[in-house]
Structure 1
Amino acid sequence: MSWFVSYYRTTVGKKVVMAVTGILLFLFVLGHMAGNLQIFMGKDQLNAYAAALHSQSFAPILWTVRVVMGLSLILHVVASIQLTVHSWNSRPQKYAKIRYREADIAARTMILSGPIIAFFLIYHILQLTTGNIQPSGEFALQASGAPDAYTNVVAGFQVWWVSLGYIVAVILLGFHFYHGLWSWTQTLGWDHPKWNGLRRGLATFFCVAIVIGDIAIPLAVLAGWIK
């Protein structure tokens, strides 16, 4: 463990930790989106999927994923803060202004999007996982006592400000992942003019897919296509 601590204390170590945890979180979001899109297959399908995730046989896998994602999120946030502070302290003011002008919108929103996404994540869990926050009413349960995922998702997104907040957070998440994927490949040494077009194209594709896939659900609920 001491080797990890020593490595993490270096700037390169923090960047690698941030890159690795970022890609783990990105893969989780992709998988989470794929599962949620089953809502378009009907109530029975989504509730069966949710029940399978929370079944006793799947519990060890579910909790392993939760622990890994939780640790990844903590390490990602801590490394991000430390690198940002280090960057601010080490750059001359003139250089920082030049870098700001050159930065794209995804890079500029990283500091803003991080806290907003964190707040959204906490709210999302409290609303749809634990049921502690229910702006639409009670947390719906199936006859078996298991959460009625379909009803809770639909009822939640029928509240316009919940859908709006979700859509804004997902768009910011898309920008966050775009810049993150670009930086991740750069950190791992894939920064070369020959590959930069491919890197940017792949980052754009995956992040647009995440945004479209995730906001399709609240938009469909608001439009009355899912009810």
Structure 2
Amino acid sequence: MAVSGLVLLAYLVAHMLGNLKVFLGAGELNGYAAWLRTVGQPFLGYAWFLWLARLVLLAAVLVHAVAAYQLSRRDLAARPVGYRHRRRRASYATRTMRWGGVILALFVVWHILDLTTLTVNPRAEAGHPYQNIVASFSTWYGGGIYCLAMLALGLHVRHGFWSAAQTLGLNNPRRDRVLKFTANGLALLLTAGFLSVPIAVMTGVVR
């Protein structure tokens, strides 16, 4: 679960940086999207890199989901009867980790239908991601769904990065402060970066 989570985290950072090209204009973002389909040519065929990346991401998502289910079952089996007195020592991100994962899984399906297959996008234009982003986030539900999902993502990343560091044995008393700072920083950076795009569209900064 930790390794698949870190693979997905690396993708999120790259995806956010690509999304921010929307602030450079339609030509820049559309050109970047077209370039992704030519990466590796002539050794790779057209869009091969993109499909390979999608297969890796799909595998990481499936491994992550299966591991989450298995860990949840083990957790319940280890303590079938809850504690009589509960103390809320865990953070909000920790307590909502499972539901956050479910929300993100549902959002991924919506996001693909919205900006990849263009099934639910009201004014979609194939090959024009800039225009499709504007069309999606110009609707209250398109921008709203995205913003709520990105808040859930921030909480998920914050707890997930810290948990992954513990699972992989990277934490110790000397590193804990740095790891926690990194987890908070990554969560804040990703949340702010992803939210900036729909907010810019909804406020007319990007049109």
In the superposition, the TM-score normalised over structure 1's length comes to 0.84
Query: Aligned residues, how many?
Result: 201
Is 1:206 the counterpart of 2:186? The answer is yes
Which residue identity lines up with residue 72 of structure 2 in the other structure? T
For 2:84 and 2:178, locate their aligned partners in 1 and report how far apart those are by CA, in whole Å: 28
Q: Which has the larger helix fraction?
A: 1
- 8 Å Cα contact 2:37/2:49 also seen in 1: no
**Among the aligned pairs, what percent are the same residue?**
35
What is the rounded CA distance, in whole Å, between the counterparts of 2:206 and 2:171 in structure 1?
Answer: 43
| Helix, strand or coil at the partner of 2:175 | helix
Q: 1:119 aligns with which of 91, 103, 106?
A: 106
> CA 1:85 to 1:156, structure 2 compared with 1: closer, same or farther past 3 Å?
same
Rounded Cα–Cα distance in structure 2 between residues aligned with 1:82 and 1:214: 30
Q: How big is each residue's C-alpha offset from its partner over 1:174-201, in whole Å with a ceiling of 9 and x where there is no partner?
A: 1101111000110111232221111110
Q: 1:67 aligns with which of 51, 55, 75?
A: 55
Summarize deviations over 1:85-119 as a string: whole Å, max 9, x none: 11122025218934xx2111111111111111011
- Cross-structure match for 1:3: none
CA shift at 1:140, angstroms?
Answer: 1.4
Work out which of the residue numbers 193, 205, 208 in structure 1 matches 2:173. Answer: 193
Distance 2:112 2:182 in 1: 29
CA shift, 1:55, in A, is 3.8
Tell me, yes or no, if the aligned pair for 2:37 and 2:48 is still in contact at 8 Å: no
| C-alpha separation in 2, matches of 1:71 and 1:60 | 17
| Letter paired with 1:93 | G
Matched residue SS, 1:94:
coil
Pairs within 5 Å for 1:1-227: 18-55=1-38, 57=41, 59-91=47-79, 92-94=81-83, 97-98=86-87, 101-134=88-121, 137-141=122-126, 147-227=127-207
How high is the TM-score relative to the length of structure 2? 0.92
AA at the equivalent of 2:119: N
Q: 2-side partners of 1:171 and 1:87: how far apart?
A: 26
For structure 2, the residue ranges without an aligned partner over 5 or more in a row are none
Structure 2 Cα separation of the partners of residues 129 and 28 of structure 1: 16
Secondary structure of the residue that 2:178 maps to in structure 1? Answer: helix
Deviates more, 1:204-213 or 1:185-194: 185-194
Corresponding letter in the other structure for 2:125:
A
| Superposed structure 1 runs of 4+ greater than 4 Å apart | none
Looking at structure 2, the residues matched to 163 and 123 of structure 1 have their Cα atoms a distance apart, in angstroms, of 12
Residue 95 to residue 22, structure 1, CA distance change in 2 (3 Å):
farther
What residue identity is the alignment partner of 2:15? H
5+ long unaligned stretches in structure 1: 1-17, 142-146
2:109 counterpart letter in structure 1: I
Give the letter aligned to residue 136 of structure 2: G
